[in-house]
Amino acid sequence: MKTIGHFVNGMHYDGDSDRISAVFNPATGVQTAAVRLATKAEIDSVVELAASAQTAWGTTPPAKRAQVMFRFRDLLNRHIDELAELLSAEHGKTLADAKGEIARGIEVVEFVCGIPQLLKGEYSGQVAGGVDSYSMRQAVGVVAGITPFNFPAMVPLWMYPVSLACGNAFVLKPSERDPSVVLRIAELLHDAGLPAGLFHVVNGDKEAVDALLDNPQIDAVSFVGSTAIGEYIYARGTANGKRVQALCGAKNHMVIMPDADMNQVVDALMGAGYGSAGERCMAISVAVPVGEDTAERLIEKLTPRIHALNVAPYTDPASDMGPVISKQALERIKGYIAEGEAAGAKLVVDGRGLKLQGYEEGYFLGGCLFDEVTTDMSIYQNEIFGPVVSVVRTGEYEEAVEMINAHEYGNGTAIFTRDGDTARDFCSRVRIGMVGVNVPIPVPVAYHSFGGWKRSLFGDHHIHGMEGVRFNTQLKTMTTRWPSGIRDGAVFNFHTGSDTQA
């Protein structure tokens, strides 16, 4: 059986820990590899390498750092098929979906190819007599990234291209459930000319994460994953004086107004609810039709489409969605379905009986649809992270907005309507970080920033785009006076901009 190690100092490193975690092919349920879980001592020595490499990189001209990103982008594009295959074999998502995720990651690399422009500071001449002021953004130092299983290529790519382009060194601790694609991408980044020492991938679990959070040479931590872990990482990281952004769980609602085009709504909901088996932090998991007639039309059109879903392994090019990530995830999702039924929700489509010939041990679940869900039910309150959509019927638009605003999560939401007034009101009043109007999964493009509100994000900065640049840099502001020959004696009052001694 293959053993997966780490990528340290520009090359593969087996690791010396005897603790391992199993990696499975979710379509077959067969173990394909064992990944080594790094020890605290290994993490500490990797961080040391990163810290010593960062000093020179931080003062390397941004245009030179951008050159690495230009070559990295080309290599990613050239290897996209190979990367998608690696990704799908461990994650289970369809190849088209895997390529889409990698492409969205490449867009972040494209964004940071313009890093000299992004790091440009501000300048004000003559802020007082003979005094000029300017600002610059400098790297924070060594940044750690801790990432989830569901986007094993894209989420790390949200982080380290921005961080490295800004002049930091980066230590990535990816998900131990699908570690292969990120290791291959690390090779490509070094083939692109990144100097050794600046980017390391260490596989691990809580021990590795805690070692990163406690290491005084780590200056900032980017985390993406579940809320329970993100909240812990934020608390421990900030208690240790680090800058932390922790992007977390979600429960994304789609409001369907009576005037919406129902065919468009159903197409959108199929992709957003069941694509990637519902394992996206921006998946729509709650549909909120406004008015009884809207609800009836939605259920009528949606039900046959869910029955027609082609649930199949990624090796089948006609697959709409693959398995969920693990046996435990499958059991957790089935547990929620049982809770929903017990609480009185109506299970309109039950995907639990799905069996695929030749893949009986795979973690497959058919699409599921609940109707008549109420806000006190666990299937409404919690993130299920599987192919399960809940319909919560509302009488009024206002009720829908209140419901979304009251939910503890605030990652994404969407409204489907033909009415500009309603859409505009929704965008303005909804307490959610990313909002779609007739767009079901409003994931911002790379040059905007991704992030939720409420318990979907701990920390102040969203990720990638200019917020990513801000997170990965510190602002420094200079106040300078030339010529140096001026003497005004000791001044004991506080200077103001209207001082004009010169």
Q: In three state form, how does the secondary structure of 387-434 look?
A: CEEEECCECCHHHHHHHHHHCCEECEEEEECCCHHHHHHHHHHCCCCE
Nearest to 325 by CA among 270, 280, 379: 280
Minimal distance in Å, beta carbon 326 to ligand NAD? 9
Whether omega for the bond prior to residue 483 falls within 30 degrees of 0, making it cis, is: yes
Burial label for 432, CB within 10 Å (0-12, 13-18, 19+), is buried
Over the window 276 to 315, marking each residue x when it contacts ligand NAD by CB under 6 A and - when it does not, the resulting string is -----x----------------------------------
Burial label for 481, CB within 10 Å (0-12, 13-18, 19+), is middle
Over the window 248 to 267, marking each residue x when it contacts ligand NAD by CB under 6 A and - when it does not, the resulting string is xxx-----------------
Residue 23 contacts ligand NAD per CB under 6 A: no
Give the nearer residue to ligand NAD in terms of CB position, either 229 or 403. 229
Residue 165 contacts ligand NAD per CB under 6 A: no
Radius of gyration of the CA atoms of the chain, in A:
25
DSSP 3-state of 88 = helix
Q: Candidates 161-169, 201-209, 263-271, 360-368: pick the segment binding ligand NAD (CB under 6 A).
A: 201-209
Distance of CA 161 to the CA centre of its chain: 14
Residue 113 a catalytic site member: no
Residue 222 contacts ligand NAD per CB under 6 A: no
Minimal distance in Å, beta carbon 105 to ligand NAD? 13
Minimal distance in Å, beta carbon 147 to ligand NAD? 6
Give the nearer residue to ligand NAD in terms of CB position, either 289 or 323. 323
Position among 51, 76, 131, 155 found at the interface with ligand NAD (CB under 6 A): 155
Minimal distance in Å, beta carbon 230 to ligand NAD? 7
Minimal distance in Å, beta carbon 478 to ligand NAD? 35
Distance CA 343, CA 392 (A): 14
Please give the residues from 169 up to 188 whose contact with ligand NAD meets the rule CB under 6 A. 173, 175-176
Residue nearest to ligand NAD according to CB distances in the complex: 225
Please give the residues from 391 up to 430 whose contact with ligand NAD meets the rule CB under 6 A. 411
Residue 25 contacts ligand NAD per CB under 6 A: no
Residue 455 contacts ligand NAD per CB under 6 A: no
* Annotated catalytic residue within 166, 248, 281, 368: 281
Both tokens of 162, joined, read 């921005």
Minimal distance in Å, beta carbon 420 to ligand NAD? 29
How many other β-carbons are positioned within 10 Å of the β-carbon of residue 406? 9
Residue 149 contacts ligand NAD per CB under 6 A: yes
Query: In 440-451, which positions are buried (b, 16+ CB within 10 angstroms) versus exposed (e)?
Result: bbbbbebbebbb
Give the nearer residue to ligand NAD in terms of CB position, either 54 or 411. 411
267 — alpha (psi -120 to 50), left (phi > 0) or beta? alpha
Residue 467 contacts ligand NAD per CB under 6 A: no
How many other β-carbons are positioned within 10 Å of the β-carbon of residue 490? 4
For residue 171, the surrounding DSSP H or E stretch is strand 169-173
Number of residues forming the site for ligand NAD (CB under 6 A): 27
| Residue 275 vs residues 426, 481, 493: alpha-carbon distances, Å | 25, 59, 64
Over the window 47 to 86, marking each residue x when it contacts ligand NAD by CB under 6 A and - when it does not, the resulting string is ----------------------------------------
Distance CA 39, CA 43 (A): 6
Residue 94 contacts ligand NAD per CB under 6 A: no
Q: By the 8 A CB rule, do 246 and 280 touch?
A: no
- Interface positions with ligand NAD (CB under 6 A): 146-151, 155, 173, 175-176, 205-206, 209, 224-226, 229, 247-250, 281, 383, 385, 411, 452, 456
Supply the residues annotated as catalytic.
281
